[in-house]
Structure 1
Amino acid sequence: MKRLPLYLIIQLTILVIFMLNLEVLAGAKLQNPKVEQVTTTLNGRVDLCLSCHKEKPDKAHGREVLGCAVCHKGNPLSGDKQRAHMGMVLNPGELRFADKTCGQSGCHPKEVTWVKNSLMATNRGIISTLRFYWGESPYNDEDLSVKILKDTGMNSLALDYYRKLCASCHLWVERGSLPSFLADKGGGCTACHFVKDEEKKPKDERHPKTVKVIPMENCVLCHNRSGRVGLSYQGQFESEGYGTPYEEGDFSSRELIDGRFYRIFKDDIHHEKGLTCIDCHTQKEIMGDGERHAHFEEQLEVTCRDCHGTSKTFTSQSSSDYPKSPNHQITKSPNSSSPPKLNIQQKDGLFVLENKQNKKLHPLHAPNPVACMHPTHRRLSCQACHSTWVPQCYGCHIRMDRSKTQLDKISIKETPGLWEEFRSFIRYECPPLGIFEHGEERQEALSEKSTLQAETGEVVVLVPG
C-alpha cells in the first residue's frame, strides 16, 4: 500500500484539529455563553478553563504555559461549568492528590516522594516517642504515621492526646478543614510554598502564589509550641497573661493568634541579621530525602560548623565539579560529600552566606579559637554558650475530662474526652544543660566529625541552671 506524502499527512492533521476546535467551540457556546473562543496554552493545548477564569498564578506556573487543568484537573474541553468542574482539585498541593498534580511526570515527582516520607508528613517521631513515654510501646522509633492513623482509625490514650492537641501540624491536614486560625495550616506542598496574592489586584485575578523561597511566617504557623523555636528565634517569649511585673501590673498587650501571651526579648543573632528559616535549614532537612526517618536528628544536614568553621575547612570542601563565576566560588558545606546545601560563596577572598530572600551577603566568621577550643569549652555545644535565653516550662501536666468532647484533628470529628495542659511557671533564664552518655568521646568527635554526630546519644545528667 502506497504511503501518503508527509506534507499531506500534516495538512490532514491540521484540518482534523481545526474541525475538533470548531466542534468544541460550538458546544461550549451553547453550554456557556462566556466561552467566546477556543483558548489554548502556548503549546496549542486546548484549555477552555482560560475562557472563564482570569486568575494569574506566579510566573513559574503561568496560565499561558500550563493552563488550569494541568494542576487543577477537571475537564478542560467542556464549555459547561458543571462538566468542566467534574473531578476538579481545588488545592493541587494536597498530599492525597499530589502524585497526579505536583508529582506528575515533568513536574516534581521526586520531591513529592520525599515529602510523603518526611517527618513533617508522617509525624513519626512525635507519635512513637509519645507512645513510648506513655508506656504504650516498648520502642520510640515505631513506623507509625499520621497516614496510618487516618486510614485505620487507630486510637489509644496517647494517640487521642496526639489527635486532639498535636495533629493540626502535619502535611496531611487538608487546608481549610480545621476551624479558626488552624484553617491556614496543612495542605501538603501548599503548607510551605503558598503565599496569598496581593489584595490590590482585582478579585477575579487573584491566585495564591507558589514560591520557592519560603517565608518564615509559613514555618511559624506550626513551629511555635514545644521548644517554641519559631517564637524564640524572633525574640518572642511566651509568658503568663497577667504580665506582672513587666507590664506595670496590667495584662500583657501582646497576644498570639491562639490566645497565648508573649513578651519581646532579644532575638536570635541570625534573625537580627535578616536570615530566615530556609537560609539555614536545607531542602532535604525540611522535605526529607525519601527515607522514613524516625527522628528529626536523622534528617538534619546542617550544623553551626557549616558556616562557622575555619577557612581551611571551607577551602578543603571546595569542588571543581560545581559551576564558578569570576567573582565567587560555590562550595560544599563542611562535613558533607553531597552537593552544596547552603548558599556559601567565596568572594574577594572571604567566605559569605547569600541570603535567599534578598541576596544580601553575610560574612562568615570563624569561632574564637581561645574560647571555643579551650579544653573545657570543647565539651560544650555551640548553643550552650551562645543562646542568650531559652524558654523553659516547669510543672507541666495534662488532664483529660471524659465528660466533655474535643475536635479530633485527624478525623475532623468531635469525640469524647477534652485534653487540657497546665504548667506551674515558665521562665527564660539559666537553662539546664544536659550531659550525653558518650561525653568522654565528645572532644575527639567535635574535632573530627560534625557537632551533630557528636551530640547523639541519651542525656544522662541534667545540670541545673
Structure 2
Amino acid sequence: MVNGQPESCLLCHAEMQGFVTGHLPVLIGCSGCHLGQPTERDKNDAHANMLLVPGNIAEAEESCGNRICHPDYAKWVPNTLMSTGRGIVSVNRFVFGESDSPDGPGHLSQLGNSPADKHLRQLCASCHLTLPKTQPSPISERSRGGGCTACHLQYSDEAKSQFQNYKETGELPTQHPQLNVQIRDENCFGCHSRSARISTSYEGWHETLLAVEDVQPDSTFRIFQDGRVFSRQAQDIHYQRGMSCIDCHTWRETMGDGTRYNHQEEQIEIVCDDCHFTGKPRTISIDSLRQHDLQVLGKRRWQSLVKTMLRLKKSGSPLLNSFIDSTGTAKLILKNSGALRDLRPPSAQCGTTIPGHNRLSCQTCHTQWAPTCIACHTEYEPQNTSFDHLQQKDVPGAWIEYADGQLPVPPTLGVQKEVIETFIPGMILTISSQEKNLGNSGGDEKIFRRMYAPIRAHTIGIKARTCESCHNNPRALGYGEGKLEFFTTYAGYGKWVFTPTYANHPEDGLPADAWIAFLQPSPSSEATRSDIRPFTIVEQQKILSVGACLTCHEGTKQNIDQIYGKYSQSLDNLSEKCLQAGF
C-alpha cells in the first residue's frame, strides 16, 4: 500500500534503488510517474497504459504534473521557448518571406508543410522539450527532447553500468536513475551545442569545418559524438570558476512563469549587474518569497544559509542561490557543489567614466569571441530524401545547408532597445530551390537575406576589449573583416578608408560578411528581431571620430582619464598635430 492505495508494482520491483527522497516508491509508488494499473497483479495487466518514459510533455500533467506533485510546472513548461521554439519558428518564416515579422506564434511540434516549416522539420525540430523520448537512456551529447527528464534525469555511474548490461544481456537493472534538481551542464549540451552554440562556447570550443579524419582528439581539438570537430578557444570565466548553467539561469527562465515569450532575451530574467553591482544591493527577504520560490529553495541543501538574497533587476524575482552574509558581502552558492563565490563589483571604468558608455551592455566589452558563419547557402533538393523530426521518418525532398567561413572572432556591435549589444551574422544566406515555391517571394526560385542576430556568446572574460577594438575595428562597426585606415587629407583633418577582406556579394554589393555599408545607406541590412538595428551613419561617425584620436592616443587609463573621460573639452583643446575625422 502507498498512500492508502494498492501498489502492486512493488511486488516485483521492490529491489529498485537510487531514488531521491521525494521520489521514493514507498512515498509515491511507481505508478505516480509510470502510471499503469497498480491494482493489477498480472504483469501484462499491470503494465497496461504504462509510461515507459515518464515526463514527456504530452503526458506531463498525468505523471510529473499530477495534482500531488508538480501541477503548476507541468502547465508552464509547455509554453516555454524550450518547449515551443516559438522564436525559431517565427524568425524562420520571416526569413523565407512567409511572415512579415520575426515575432509571432509558432510551435516546433505543430509545423505545416510550407518551405519554411519543412526546413525546420528537417534541420531544427529535434531541439525542443516537446519532442518525445521513447526509450530510456542516459543523457549524452546527442540527447534531445524528453520533457521533464531532459533536465532532471541523472544516471549515476552504477545506473549507467547496469543500463548498459541490460542492453547487452537483458538483465533488469536494480539501480534507478535519479530525478533531481542537480542539473548538470551535460543536460543542456545536447540542444545548446547547436544554433548559437552557447554550451560549447562556454566550455571554450568552436565548431570548425574540419572532418574527423583531419584531426586527432587532444587539448586542441575535440570530436563530438555526432562527428563535428571543434577547436579550443578561450573559456568563459564563469566556467573556469566552476559555475554550471543553472548557477545563473533561474527556474523561471527554464520552466516558465506562465507568460508566452517570443524570443530568448525576453524570457531571460538575469543580467550581469544582478551579481556584479555597485552601491547598495537590491535584496529580498526569505519571508517575502512566494510559494513556488519557497518550494524550489526547499529542494536545496543550503536553504538554511539564505535569509536575505539578491533581487533581480528585470523581474524583481529572487536569485535563490545568493545571500548577503553577516559582513554585508554578497555571495553566490553554486547549486550543484554548494561552493561559495564572492560577488565582486565591476571595474570603475565599466561604463561610468567615459561619456556615452552607459549605453553599453556588459557583454559588449567582455565577450572574448563569438561563433560566426559568414556564408550560408540553403538549397531544397526535391530528388533527395531527408529525415523529418516530427514524423520520425525519411520523407521526399531535402533541405541541405552549405556553410563557409566559420570563425571564432569578437562580435559585431549594434543596438537593441537603444542598448549597445553583441551580434553575429545570423543569416547572410541564399535560399534556393529547383522548384519555384519559396514562400511569398513572388515565385522566385531564390531568396537572399542579410540578417544579423543577437548573441549572448557565453565567452565572458575578465579583461575587456580595448577601445581600439571597437572604435577602429571594421567588424565591430558592422562593415565586416578588412583594413580600416585613417589618412591625412588636409590641415587638421583626416579620412577613414575601408578595404574589405571579402568580395562584394552579387545580390546587394556589400562585402560578404558585412551588416552595413561603410558610412553609406544599407537598404539590404536586416536583423532577426524587430527591435534591433545596426549603427546609423551618424552613430558610425561619432564612433570613428573617437577612433581617429585613438590612432595616436591609445586607450590607456591615463588617456581615458585625461582625454576620453572629458571628450568634449578635449576637442576644444586640440594641438596643431591633431587630426579630426572628416565625413
TM-score bracket, normalised by the shorter chain, equals 0.7 to 0.9
Matched with 2:95 is 133
Q: How does 1:182-221 map to 2 (within 5 A)?
A: 184-199=143-158, 203-221=172-190
Residues 314-352 of structure 1: CA deviation (Å, up to 9, x unaligned): 1x4344734899976422324156441341111232111
Matched with 1:34 is none
Matched with 2:275 is 307
Give the CA deviation at 1:44.
Answer: 4.0
- Name which of 73, 77, 86 aligns with 1:115: 77
Residues 387-414 of structure 1: CA deviation (Å, up to 9, x unaligned): 1121111112212221111111011121
- Name which of 406, 409, 422 aligns with 2:386: 406
- Name which of 273, 283, 287 aligns with 1:321: 287
- Name which of 522, 529, 532 aligns with 1:458: 532
Q: Are 1:330 and 1:340, in contact at CA under 8 Å, matched by a contact in 2?
A: no
Q: Are 1:332 and 1:338, in contact at CA under 8 Å, matched by a contact in 2?
A: no
Secondary structure of 2:398's partner?
strand
1:163 paired with 2:121, answer: yes
Matched with 1:285 is 253
Give, in whole Å, the separation in 1 of the partners of 2:228 and 2:100: 35
Decide whether aligned partners of structure 1 residues 176 and 183 sit closer, same or farther in structure 2, where only a CA change above 3 A counts: farther
The one-letter amino acid of 1:309's match is F
Q: Are 2:101 and 2:530, in contact at CA under 8 Å, matched by a contact in 1?
A: no
Matched with 2:227 is 259
The one-letter amino acid of 1:208's match is P
- Name which of 285, 288, 297 aligns with 2:265: 297
Secondary structure of 1:341's partner?
coil
Matched with 2:400 is 420
The count of aligned residue pairs is 403
Q: Are 1:176 and 1:185, in contact at CA under 8 Å, matched by a contact in 2?
A: no
Matched with 2:554 is none
Q: Are 1:176 and 1:183, in contact at CA under 8 Å, matched by a contact in 2?
A: no
Moved more, 257-266 or 371-380: 371-380
Give the CA deviation at 1:118.
Answer: 0.6
Decide whether aligned partners of structure 1 residues 90 and 183 sit closer, same or farther in structure 2, where only a CA change above 3 A counts: farther
Q: Are 2:312 and 2:318, in contact at CA under 8 Å, matched by a contact in 1?
A: no
Q: How does 1:291-370 map to 2 (within 5 A)?
A: 291-312=259-280, 314=281, 316-319=282-285, 321-322=287-288, 329-335=307-313, 338-347=316-325, 348-370=327-349
Residues 234-274 of structure 1: CA deviation (Å, up to 9, x unaligned): 01111231699x979x9x85211211101122210000000
- Name which of 64, 67, 71 aligns with 1:102: 64
Give, in whole Å, the separation in 1 of the partners of 2:189 and 2:305: 35
Give, in whole Å, the separation in 1 of the partners of 2:155 and 2:411: 39
Q: TM-score, normalised by structure 1?
A: 0.79
Q: Are 2:211 and 2:228, in contact at CA under 8 Å, matched by a contact in 1?
A: no
Unaligned 5+ residue runs, structure 1? 1-39, 441-451
Give the CA deviation at 1:160.
Answer: 0.6
Give, in whole Å, the separation in 2 of the partners of 1:237 and 1:223: 13
Q: Are 1:390 and 1:428, in contact at CA under 8 Å, matched by a contact in 2?
A: yes
RMSD across aligned positions (CA): 3.2
Give, in whole Å, the separation in 2 of the partners of 1:126 and 1:387: 24
Decide whether aligned partners of structure 1 residues 188 and 327 sit closer, same or farther in structure 2, where only a CA change above 3 A counts: closer
Secondary structure of 1:140's partner?
coil
Decide whether aligned partners of structure 1 residues 439 and 325 sit closer, same or farther in structure 2, where only a CA change above 3 A counts: closer
Q: Are 2:361 and 2:419, in contact at CA under 8 Å, matched by a contact in 1?
A: no
Give, in whole Å, the separation in 2 of the partners of 1:460 and 1:134: 21
- Name which of 2, 7, 10 aligns with 1:50: 10
Q: Are 2:52 and 2:136, in contact at CA under 8 Å, matched by a contact in 1?
A: no
Matched with 1:228 is 197
Unaligned 5+ residue runs, structure 2? 163-171, 290-301, 421-455, 457-528, 545-583
Moved more, 72-81 or 176-185: 176-185
Residues 187-245 of structure 1: CA deviation (Å, up to 9, x unaligned): 1111111112433676531222101121110101100122111100001111231699x
Give the CA deviation at 1:94.
Answer: 0.9
Give, in whole Å, the separation in 1 of the partners of 2:135 and 2:381: 25
Give, in whole Å, the separation in 2 of the partners of 1:141 and 1:107: 34
Q: Are 1:322 and 1:330, in contact at CA under 8 Å, matched by a contact in 2?
A: no
Give, in whole Å, the separation in 1 of the partners of 2:98 and 2:256: 27
Give, in whole Å, the separation in 2 of the partners of 1:320 and 1:185: 36
Give, in whole Å, the separation in 1 of the partners of 2:94 and 2:194: 21
Decide whether aligned partners of structure 1 residues 183 and 253 sit closer, same or farther in structure 2, where only a CA change above 3 A counts: closer
Secondary structure of 2:394's partner?
strand
Give, in whole Å, the separation in 2 of the partners of 1:259 and 1:224: 13
Secondary structure of 1:258's partner?
coil
Give the CA deviation at 1:177.
Answer: 7.0
Q: TM-score, normalised by structure 2?
A: 0.64
Matched with 1:383 is 363
Residues 44-71 of structure 1: CA deviation (Å, up to 9, x unaligned): 4321111111322332200111111122
- Name which of 21, 34, 38 aligns with 1:72: 34
Secondary structure of 1:230's partner?
helix
Residues 417-450 of structure 1: CA deviation (Å, up to 9, x unaligned): 222222221111233212347369xxxxxxxxxx
Give, in whole Å, the separation in 1 of the partners of 2:247 and 2:360: 24
Give, in whole Å, the separation in 2 of the partners of 1:320 and 1:360: 20
Matched with 2:561 is none
Q: How does 1:12-51 map to 2 (within 5 A)?
A: 40-41=1-2, 43-51=3-11
Q: Between Structure 1 and Structure 2, which shows a larger proportion of helix residues?
A: 1
Q: Between Structure 1 and Structure 2, which shows a larger proportion of strand residues?
A: 2
Secondary structure of 1:96's partner?
helix
Residues 97-136 of structure 1: CA deviation (Å, up to 9, x unaligned): 1111111111111001110111111111100111011101
